[in-house]
Structure 1
Amino acid sequence: MVLGFFDQFMSPVLMWIPLMALALTLPWLLFPSPSMRWINNRLLTLQGWFINRFTQQIFTPINNPGHKWATLLTALMLFLISINMLGLLPYTYTPTTQLSLNLGFAVPLWLATVIIGLRNQPTISLGHLLPEGTPIPLIPVLIIIETISLFIRPLALGVRLTANLTAGHLLIQLIATAAFVLLPLMPTVAALTFTVLFLLTLLEVAVAMIQAYVFVLLLSLYLQENV
């Protein structure tokens, strides 16, 4: 059976049982838990430093009521980085290449920020739909445009993460296939192709980390508008 380029994005199944749940559970097992000792090892120290720096950078511009989201967004950041990076390993599966999963993350969190804004400061939240100083004839059109842009936000979050990871995986597979085909025919060109493949893999590692950060950063910006 000849596999296509898009078969790598199909949800894996073992004995007719979807393995999506296992792929989502595995990243949590990789992070070391803090110990009861006074002095942690280097890995725990580095992990704690990264979490503190990330939380400080994300939540410094947000008002104090929004700091309740620190645990949730930090955990989401670590989770997305983990599954994005694990998907780059051979014979693995990247759950975040599925639009349904990304929308499952984006829609509830975006909706929660909107509901918080409408409950705590309804005037300010509704005021975002109409920029200050808008001419009267343009008011209906701008309200419609801003409302559409508001509801497109979760779709943009999910599509951005899905498209970037899918495009990177497809490009890696295309270049890897070309390198193996060229190896017996033109070894010099194949060596150059393997070099490009190595550099692209490093780029995809950076993309996997950056896209997880951008996903959480945009959610924090939406939260900042509503608290």
Structure 2
Amino acid sequence: MTLSFFDQFMSPTYLGIPLMALAIALPWVLYPTPSSRWLNNRVLTLQGWFLNRFTYQLLMPLNRGGHKWALILASLMIFLLTINMLGLLPYTFTPTTQLSLNMGMAVPLWLATVIIGLRYQLTAALGHLLPEGTPTPLVPILIVIETISLIIRPLALGVRLTANLTAGHLLIQLIATAAFVLLPMMPTVAILTAILLFLLTLLEVAVAMIQAYVFVLLMSLYLQENV
């Protein structure tokens, strides 16, 4: 029983073929493609308005050099948001519950921001490793601490996304199992548990959206330090 709770986080396979690639690529089909007409329909208009507002709010604190990342960050936000939301549906798989996928996104993007900072603003990038006004005896210790905090950033990004989604899915399954087991024995308690499950599902929907936004927002903050 304990192992079956974690079976939902295993990468599904069909005839020996991993379906994780399908779970990653298929959500893009759900979005409408822009048409060549002068006027778009309501769905395309709403989609364009959301992308414009999100990109504006995300890139407003950045310098002009960071605006080149608009397409990458907007695509990453839509990708994470779609996968997280679709993963809440029954009989689906959430790829972002896999630490390998999240680290595969976090490490290259974080490394790109660091390389940009070292290439175009070497002095400022190295200056982040030592706060201004630090006493001389604390200089080596602070440099080591700041270096470790810099290296641990992609790990924090990947683990945060994985842990929040995994905990939410596991908690939903535990409460749903409890409600199913209690239904024939204590119907009143089962109904209260089902109400709690409904509220938890709403909370998990909010977590799925917030975690996608937090991932992209932190990436933009890392970019802001290096442009």
Please indicate the TM-score interval, normalised by the length of the shorter structure: over 0.9
Show the 5 A alignment for 1:148-167: 148-167=148-167
Match of 1:70 in 2: 70
Match of 1:85 in 2: 85
Match of 1:193 in 2: 193
Match of 1:53 in 2: 53
1:34 paired to 2:66: no
Shift of 1:117: 0.2
CA distance in 2, matches of 1:179, 1:39: 50
Deviation per CA, 1:18-64: give whole Å up to 9, x if none: 00110010111111111112221111111111111100000000000
CA RMSD of superposed structures (Å):
1.1
Shift of 1:115: 0.1
1:140 paired to 2:140: yes
CA distance in 1, matches of 2:2, 2:178: 16
- Residue type of the alignment partner of 2:140: P
Report the secondary structure of 1:11's partner residue.
Answer: coil
Shift of 1:10: 0.1
Deviation per CA, 1:171-202: give whole Å up to 9, x if none: 00000000000111111111111111111111
Match of 1:23 in 2: 23
Match of 1:222 in 2: 222
TM-score scaled by length of structure 2: 0.98
Q: Which runs of 4+ in 1 moved over 2 A?
A: none
How many correspondences in the alignment? 227
Report the secondary structure of 2:216's partner residue.
Answer: helix
Deviates more, 1:4-13 or 1:34-43: 34-43
Match of 1:94 in 2: 94
- Stretches of structure 1 that go unaligned for 5 or more consecutive residues are none
CA distance in 2, matches of 1:187, 1:40: 51
TM-score scaled by length of structure 1: 0.98
- Residue type of the alignment partner of 1:34: P
- Residue type of the alignment partner of 2:184: P
CA distance in 1, matches of 2:191, 2:2: 26
Match of 2:109 in 1: 109
CA distance in 2, matches of 1:198, 1:152: 36
CA distance in 2, matches of 1:139, 1:3: 49
Match of 2:131 in 1: 131
Report the secondary structure of 1:185's partner residue.
Answer: coil
Shift of 1:71: 0.2
Match of 1:213 in 2: 213
CA distance in 1, matches of 2:158, 2:62: 23
Report the secondary structure of 1:62's partner residue.
Answer: coil
Match of 1:179 in 2: 179
CA distance in 2, matches of 1:185, 1:45: 51
Deviates more, 1:151-160 or 1:1-10: 1-10
Deviates more, 1:44-53 or 1:106-115: 44-53
- Stretches of structure 2 that go unaligned for 5 or more consecutive residues are none
- Residue type of the alignment partner of 2:162: T
CA distance in 2, matches of 1:63, 1:194: 49
CA distance in 1, matches of 2:115, 2:167: 34
1:121 paired to 2:121: yes
- Residue type of the alignment partner of 1:74: A
- Residue type of the alignment partner of 2:167: A
CA distance in 2, matches of 1:55, 1:121: 24
